[in-house]
Amino acid sequence: MNYRTVLTTCVYCGCGCGLYLEVLDDELVGTLPCKTHPINEGGLCIKGWSAHEFVTSEKRLRRPLVKKDGHFVEVDWGEAMGRAAAGLGKIKEERGPQSLALLSSAKCTNEENFLLMKFARGVLGTNNIDHCARLCHASTVAGLAQAFGSGAMTNSTPEIEEADCILVTGSNTTEAHPLIASRILRAKEKGAKLIVVDPRGIQLSSYADIHVRQRLGTDVAWINGVMNIIISEGWHDKDFIERRTEGFEELEKKVKEHTPERAEQITGISQVDLRRIAETYAKAERASIIYAMGITQHTTGTDNVLSLCNLALLTGNVGKRGSGVNPLRGQNNVQGACDMGCLPNLLSGYQSIASDELRGKFEVEWGVKLPKEPGLTVVEMMEAAAGGRIKGMFILGENPLLSDPDINHVREALQRLDLLVVLDIFLTETAELADVVLPGVSFAEKDGTFTATDRRVQRVRKAIEPLGEARPDWQIICELAQAMGGEGFQYKSPEEVFGEIARLTPIYAGITYPRIEERGVQWPCRSEEDPGTEFMHEKEFSRGLGKFTAVDFREPAELADEDYPLMLTTGRSAFQFHTGSLSRKSPSLRRELDEAYLEMNPLDAGELGVPEGEAVKVSSREG
Amino acid sequence: MEALRAKVAQLLKEKAISGFLGLKLEHGHPSPFLFTGEEGLDLLVVSDTRFPLTKLLQRLTSKYPEEKFGVMVRGCDERSLIELHKDNQVNLEHLVTVGVACSQELAQRCGCKVPYPSQFEVGEPATGVEGGGELESIEGMAEDERFNFWMEQFGKCIKCYGCRNSCPLCYCSECTLEDSFLVPPGETPPKAPIFHLIRAFHTVGRCIDCGLCEEACPVGIPLRTIYKKLGQVVSELFGYSPGKEVEGRSPLSFLGEKPFKEQG
């Protein structure tokens, strides 16, 4: 008889809540919140409370699969690895490394992402590695890096409740990041002003001091309009602009063109409301901006992010506690997958692959030559696969068939490949198209680290043994690399991999497993003495001065017309997650919500004669 | 702390119990753990961090109904065991409780009337905290104001079920909160006030006012205030205080000789 609880980090969203997996007689039986954890302090959302449920689902892959005559056959590890290694090797040999591409996983650990990055660049010889961050916060990484020099959430989750004003836009926080929403509500109860700019009424908007609904895709216009008011009223922080920023003159010039009248015309937000937003945000001592997909998932995503950075710089609301520009990252370790360099142009720690010096450091450590030219992004990979230029792909714990835009195109692309190898814990829609499926393990069956949305590197701990013949993903990557002749993949543990990450990645340099034994450490953490960074850009920005960028409003790439008269946007539910690969295997979550749904303005629904709960067929220009 | 470890070591050594459910300090955080041998007892701790130990205990007792378990109890834990025993969810005869008196600081934080169990091995009895906390100020509100207050509080709910999941007395295998006819599934906030009132009514005659529900609530709904009020009503009408005595049953768990109050 044994009963224990294992402290680990939640596998759903990027909040990074601490939880205990309950293990009774070596079986997972439940989840408990960690009462003393700095993020969740004893609370969890329904996904956290049921985080153990999908782990032991009967649908879990327990043996390797290989497709023979169009059907999957269970095989032993030797055969599956042999086929994967030989297949990837043959394509590399015959068509060159650039005909291979890899997708990494924002659900897997930092160690696994780092190893896959090393495998791609060091063994396969390609920079064609990317992951689903491309489709969510790549515009954040680009925009924040341009403005501040670092592409991550500037402040910390616990600090949110210290803000005097919180501007939430494009984030349905109570649904998507519930334990961050709790901080927003707490700040509000302490007297902070809450501004919600969202096309829909959301749970937070009923607690907002100001809630406005912009016309879809007009974010640059309302932000420029608000800045116009701030500058003409003289509410901007002239001292901060003078000391800490550059590019103000160009911004001022551009913003002058965006009068409140024009902003109202474009966005549908009244001048009165724009003025209230401007005054409330600019006059707050500590104003925090919180955003997510509603800002980034646009053709103008980077412009939207840059505009929010402009607003924060203009009012000096960055580089101090309780302020900042705070993108909420969606997946448990999407921050880490980016940090680990699973991006076509960057090595771990956002070190440019094009830099001879930085690339050279990795070449010395790994003892191999690395490709210099940046690789393909997710979207370009699919394009190249459809066009026959990519012949083989390795996909780790990602389901692009559901998560990418235009799934018909993705299906065609993946079907055209000579070889598709998928490492996952379930037979996802993507895995069904694979030639070889390697069964990995869930967060409950392995050790490692996840990096939460506020740059907090935290431990993941093994609670139970792998199911069936499944193996920890980090071991599978190492075995595959070695089967292909890769050297330097003989790690005894994820901790050893982490040591290598710290050696090669300055922002992680001071982090070790013993240091994050009790509480996570937030990067940048450059030495063992460095306590880590709660909020960034305090004395100077990562790039030196904060940079204003004058941004013009552009309409979205697709607008409503006579043939397609309605606009569709994405949304979130607290009860399901991502493509449902995990959450749809969880009985508690399925009981709440088992299928996706569409919300429509009652007036549109009335005109179309669609009653509540009716099935509708949705078609777009893409299909 | 040493007294607790010595006591548990003795119980295990004498085979008076098969395991002791207490708190283990690991990775810098206290968490529930079943101690089954003398080794490892150096990690057994007393802490101001509370977990629903008597709820977790039910997992063990239902899988091993013949075994005897030891469990660390505070005042609230002991009250919950008494109520669970009356509801046939645990058998006190199969349990050995080792009592811990809470610190004054914890008693204050919990607003606990009796912050110690009937017998304890560790700690000094702290002074109980009288009064209903927020209840008085809420009861002082005008009806409209009070209704609005509660609707605003319930509107914050993210339907995590943490209140139910942390409640030592919530043991039903089918939970009315998941009845889709009463509470439409998949909505946040859940339908108000019905979701919260269902739970409130199900605590009547059972709630031992431990406050673990509020500790688990990520959005700070003062749930305990409602349950406290219902507790007062039960106490006034039936003279019953859940968890107080092993004798007597909760007035809502049986139909007595006079199930209805006489009119007039």
Q: Give B155's contacts in chain A (Cβ within 8 Å).
A: 203, 206-207
Token reading at A5: 């609880």
Contact B186 A575 (CB under 8 A): yes
Strand A448-451 vs strand A456-460: parallel, antiparallel, or unpaired?
Answer: antiparallel
- Half-sphere exposure at residue A520, Cβ-oriented, CA atoms within 13 angstroms: 32
What is the reported pLDDT for A553?
A: 95
Give the integer Cα–Cα distance in Å for B62 and B254: 24
Q: Does A2 touch chain B if contact means CB atoms closer than 8 Å?
A: yes
Contact B64 A46 (CB under 8 A): no
Q: Does A37 touch chain B if contact means CB atoms closer than 8 Å?
A: yes
Do B168 and B258 lie in one domain? The reply is yes
Instruction: Give B179 to chain A, closest Cα distance, Å.
Output: 10
Q: If DSSP states are collapsed to H, E and C, what string results for A221-274? A: HHHHHHHHHHHHHCCCCHHHHHHHEECHHHHHHHHHHCCHHHHHHHHCCCHHHH
Which segments in chain A show pLDDT lower than 50? Answer: none
Contact A1 B156 (CB under 8 A): no
Report the Cα B201 to chain-centroid distance in Å: 15
Instruction: Give B145 to chain A, closest Cα distance, Å.
Output: 17
Contact B29 A35 (CB under 8 A): yes
What is the reported pLDDT for A325?
A: 97
Residues 484-523 of A with CB under 8 A from B: 517-519
Q: Give B57's contacts in chain A (Cβ within 8 Å).
A: none
Whether B264 shows a pLDDT value over 60: the answer reads no
In a domain, B140, yes or no: yes
Give the integer Cα–Cα distance in Å for A14 and A132: 14
Question: A546 has which bridge partners?
Answer: A245
Q: Give B48's contacts in chain A (Cβ within 8 Å).
A: none
What is the reported pLDDT for B258?
A: 64
Do B70 and B165 lie in one domain? The reply is no
In a domain, B12, yes or no: yes
Token reading at A435: 């030639």
Q: Give A183's contacts in chain B (Cβ within 8 Å).
A: none
**CATH 2.40.30.160 for domain A3-49:** no
pTM of whole model > 0.90?
yes
Query: Which of A17, A23, A92 lies closest to A48, judged by CA?
Result: A17
Do B183 and B221 lie in one domain? The reply is yes
Residues 106-125 of A with CB under 8 A from B: none
What is the reported pLDDT for A371?
A: 97
What is the reported pLDDT for B7?
A: 95
What is the reported pLDDT for A587?
A: 93
Considering only CB atoms, A592 lies closest to which of B155, B186, B220, namely B186
Q: Give B51's contacts in chain A (Cβ within 8 Å).
A: 32, 35
Do B62 and B182 lie in one domain? The reply is no
CB pairs under 8 A between A and B: 126
What is the reported pLDDT for B260?
A: 63
Query: Which of A471, A359, A446, A434 lies closest to A117, judged by CA?
Result: A359
Q: Does A175 touch chain B if contact means CB atoms closer than 8 Å?
A: yes
Domain boundaries, chain A: 3-49, 65-135+332-522, 154-328, 561-623
Mind listing the pLDDT tens digit for each residue in B146-195? Answer: 999 999 999 999 999 999 999 999 999 899 999 999 999 999 999 999 99
What is the reported pLDDT for B253?
A: 77
C-beta neighbour count of A214 within 10 angstroms = 21
Q: In A299-451, which residue ranges form alpha helices assigned H by DSSP?
A: 301-314, 334-339, 356-366, 378-386, 400-403, 407-416
What is the reported pLDDT for A591?
A: 92
Name the 3-class secondary structure at A12. coil
Which of B51, B76, B110 is at the close of a domain? B110
What is the reported pLDDT for B250?
A: 85
Q: Give A185's contacts in chain B (Cβ within 8 Å).
A: 156, 219-220
Do B33 and B78 lie in one domain? The reply is yes
Residues B18 and B49: beta-carbon distance below 8 Å:
no
Q: How many domains does chain B have?
A: 2
Give ipTM to 2 decimals. 0.95
Do B171 and B248 lie in one domain? The reply is yes
Contact A7 B50 (CB under 8 A): no
Mind listing the pLDDT tens digit for each residue in B65-123? Answer: 999 999 999 999 999 999 999 999 999 999 999 999 999 999 999 999 999 999 999 99
Instruction: Give A516 to chain B, closest Cα distance, Å.
Output: 9
- Please name the amino acid found at residue A435: D
Whether B262 shows a pLDDT value over 80: the answer reads no
Instruction: Give B212 to chain A, closest Cα distance, Å.
Output: 10
Q: Give B189's contacts in chain A (Cβ within 8 Å).
A: 203
Q: CA separation (Å) from A384 to A79, A84, A98, A381, A416?
A: 29, 21, 10, 5, 10
What is the reported pLDDT for B249?
A: 83
In a domain, B126, yes or no: no
Helix axis angle, B194-202 to B143-154, nearest 10°: 100
Give the integer Cα–Cα distance in Å for A413 and B260: 72
Considering only CB atoms, B19 lies closest to which of A1, A49, A518, namely A1
Do B149 and B102 lie in one domain? The reply is no
Tell me the residue range of the domain where B71 lies. 2-110
Residues A243 and A319: beta-carbon distance below 8 Å:
no
Contact A43 B155 (CB under 8 A): no
Give the integer Cα–Cα distance in Å for A462 and A448: 9
Considering only CB atoms, A43 lies closest to which of B26, B60, B162, namely B162
Mind listing the pLDDT tens digit for each residue in A385-404? Answer: 999 999 999 999 999 988 87
Please list, in sequence order, all residues whose beta carbon lies within 8 angstroms of the beta carbon of residue B36, skipping any fewer than 6 positions away: A1, A2, B12, B18, B19, B20
In a domain, B121, yes or no: no
Q: Give A575's contacts in chain B (Cβ within 8 Å).
A: 186
Residues A549 and A539: beta-carbon distance below 8 Å:
no
Q: Which residues of B touch A (CB under 8 A)?
A: 18-19, 21, 24, 26-34, 36, 49-51, 56, 59-60, 63-64, 67, 155-156, 158-162, 165, 178, 185-186, 188-189, 215-220
Which of B54, B77, B110 is at the close of a domain? B110
Whether B245 shows a pLDDT value over 80: the answer reads yes
Do B8 and B68 lie in one domain? The reply is yes
Q: Give B56's contacts in chain A (Cβ within 8 Å).
A: 3, 22
State in words which class domain A65-135+332-522 has: alpha beta
Considering only CB atoms, A3 lies closest to which of B60, B158, B165, namely B60
Q: Is the peptide bond before B189 cis (omega within 30 degrees of 0)?
A: yes
Do B193 and B253 lie in one domain? The reply is yes
Residues A30 and A52: beta-carbon distance below 8 Å:
yes
What is the reported pLDDT for B259?
A: 58
Q: Give the pLDDT band (50/70/90) at residue B255.
A: low
Do B137 and B252 lie in one domain? The reply is yes
Residues 553-592 of A with CB under 8 A from B: 573-575, 588, 591-592
Residues B33 and B22: beta-carbon distance below 8 Å:
yes
In a domain, B116, yes or no: no
What is the reported pLDDT for B179?
A: 94
What is the reported pLDDT for A295?
A: 94
Which of B110, B144, B171 is at the close of a domain? B110
Residues A454 and A153: beta-carbon distance below 8 Å:
yes
Contact B27 A518 (CB under 8 A): yes
What is the reported pLDDT for B248?
A: 84
Helix axis angle, A378-386 to A407-416, nearest 10°: 60
Q: Does A186 touch chain B if contact means CB atoms closer than 8 Å?
A: yes
Instruction: Give the helix/strand (H/E) hosting A31.
Output: strand A27-33
Contact B32 A46 (CB under 8 A): no
Do B76 and B149 lie in one domain? The reply is no
Please name the residue of chain A whose CA is at the shortest distance from the CA of residue B160: A46
Please list, in sequence order, all residues whose beta carbon lies within 8 angstroms of the beta carbon of residue A464, skipping any fewer than 6 positions away: A21, A23, A26, A27, A28, A55, A444, A445
C-beta neighbour count of A436 within 10 angstroms = 26
Whether B201 shows a pLDDT value over 60: the answer reads yes
Which fold does the domain A154-328 belong to in CATH?
Answer: Dimethylsulfoxide Reductase; domain 2 (3.40.228)
Do B176 and B239 lie in one domain? The reply is yes
What is the reported pLDDT for B261?
A: 61
Give the integer Cα–Cα distance in Å for A455 and A436: 34
Please list, in sequence order, all residues whose beta carbon lies within 8 angstroms of the beta carbon of residue A473, skipping any fewer than 6 positions away: A105, A108, A109, A112, A396, A397, A423, A440, A441, A446
Mind listing the pLDDT tens digit for each residue in B224-241? Answer: 999 999 999 999 999 999
